[in-house]
Structure 1
Amino acid sequence: MTQPASPFAAAAAPARRLKLWDISPVVDERSDVFPGDTAYSQHVHFSLSPVCPVNVSRITLSPHTGAHADAPLHYASGASAIGAVDLQPYLGPCRVIHCLDSGPLVEPAHLAHALENLPARVLLRTARAASQSWASFTALSPATLALLASKNIALVGIDTPSVDPATSQHLPCHQLLLERGLRVLENLVLDDVPEGDYELIALPLKLMQADASPVRAILRELP
């Protein structure tokens, strides 16, 4: 009688390791912030020594430093702090759309080529080399954000400091985010990411009184 093969007779083939893209900028004293906002600083609080077993630092920073998620509280008094928002928009399928050389605003025509079967998360690459500088950057036109909202997205991300221009006083795109219940990621680095679909992982911290949170944003290759 033939004996059944042992399930342990041959080791299973190792699963293919999915490629990751780190889409977060470096955070340090050189990180640019909105003029007048809190710059990053770091100071030693405890130092490793014969009488101290650890190094511990104290850091001070704006929650809008580096790659970050804005909370509704950022643009509406009494709205939700970042620690209270649903995490689902920050985790799942997303599409990176290249909108290079769009000028001061990304308009609907700049992303019309990539809107078919859109997943719930969209990241826009506007620059050939991402910069956190507030001196000059590409923002979104309200028409573009309204178009994306009509596609039932949950989150939009951008590789610049803000979805609104630095000089805007009324922040129309931020107000659209509030009105449509959308989440936003700003200051991403998409320089090395080809246009296409990925898995986004960019969870904010559970800061229950904050108007934003830094995130370690990554993209993972789809299986």
Structure 2
Amino acid sequence: MKKLWDISPPVDASSPVFPGDTPYTQRWAATLTEACPVNVSAITLSPHVGAHADAPLHYDPQGAAVGTLELTPFLGHCRVIHAIGAWPLITTAHLQHALQDLPERVLVRTCRQMPLDHFDTQLTAFDPQAVQHLADLGVKLIGTDSASIDPADSKQLPSHQVIRQRGLRVLENLWLDNVPEGDYELIALPLKLMRADASPVRAVLRELP
């Protein structure tokens, strides 16, 4: 069996959300009793809770919903690059040591330990020029352990706009604490939510042959 790394943080009522976003809540619509053979729950959450894929609709009023996206960018050869301590912005210089023969998917670890119990208002974001450079190298998907590829207080979202202009896909809130730098197979498929601006993913890395 090839080794797997589960890079999805736990999702429950304690999961951090962007300030003002909808947190995870759960109630039981049915519970196991002599009269009922099953437990059935109902959940409410923002599609940006936990590991998730943004859709163009998130940052473009005319953008595609997540359920319509081609799945290929979310599945295949990827590289994990460490840029720990790169705050406030990941620049090309932080990534340069790992850009040789780059696959189409790049995941960047920015935290020594991902905050699982609070929202990090000082999250590490991407310099939009670094996003442009990755796109120039043929990258189709960028992932991060931050909650956003732009600063938490950004209103213009310049890195998201580069993603939009260059047709890249993005994964956020990945749990990369225990993942060494190197190449892996990424599996992080979004749900087929036909009107949503994002989707939760169960993201995993699998060792290459």
Q: Which runs of 5+ in 1 are unaligned?
A: 1-16
Correspondence for 1:164 among 150, 157, 175: 150
**CA offsets per residue over residues 97-131 of structure 1, 9 Å max, x none?**
00011121111100100000000000000110112
- The alignment status of 1:138 with 2:138, answered yes or no, reads no
Q: CA deviation at 1:78?
A: 2.1
What is the correspondence of 1:108-147 to structure 2 with a 5 Å cutoff?
Answer: 108-131=92-115, 133-147=119-133
Q: Distance in 2 between matches of 1:174 and 1:201?
A: 22
Partner of 2:141: 155
Cα deviation, 1:116-158, whole Å, max 9, x if unaligned, reads 0000000000110112523221010011111101111110000
Name the counterpart of 1:196.
182
Task: Select the structure of larger CA radius of gyration.
Answer: 1
CA distance in 2, matches of 1:205, 1:101: 32
Q: Is the 8 A contact 1:33 1:134 kept in 2?
A: no
Instruction: Tell whether 2:92 aligns with 1:97.
Output: no
Q: Is the 8 A contact 1:131 1:159 kept in 2?
A: no
Deviations 1:1-46 (A, max 9, x none): xxxxxxxxxxxxxxxx100000000000011111111010000000
Tell me if 1:216 matches 2:202.
yes
Whole-angstrom distance in 2 between the partners of 1:95 and 1:107: 17
Structure 2 gaps of 5+ residues are none
Could you tell me which amino acid in structure 2 is paired with residue 187 of structure 1?
Answer: N
User: CA RMSD of the aligned region, Å?
Assistant: 0.7
Using the aligned pairs only, state the percent identity.
60
What is the rounded CA distance, in whole Å, between the counterparts of 1:148 and 1:46 in structure 2? 48
Distance in 1 between the 2:60 and 2:173 partners?
Answer: 21
SS of the residue corresponding to residue 111 of structure 1 reads helix
User: TM-score, length-normalised on structure 2?
Assistant: 0.98
Q: Which runs of 4+ in 1 moved over 2 A?
A: none
Partner of residue 48 from structure 1, selected from 27, 32, 57: 32
Letter of the 1:97 counterpart = I
CA deviation string 1:180-223 (max 9, x = no partner) = 00000000011100100000000000000000000000000001
What is the rounded CA distance, in whole Å, between the counterparts of 2:15 and 2:189 in structure 1?
20
- Determine the structure 1 residue equivalent to 2:170: 184
Alignment pair present for 1:63 and 2:34: no
Tell me the distance in 2 between the aligned counterparts of 1:49 and 1:103. 52
Distance across 1 between alignment mates of 2:68 and 2:185: 23
TM-score by length of 1: 0.92
Structure-1 separation of matches of 2:59 and 2:120: 19
Query: Residue type of the partner of 2:171?
Result: L
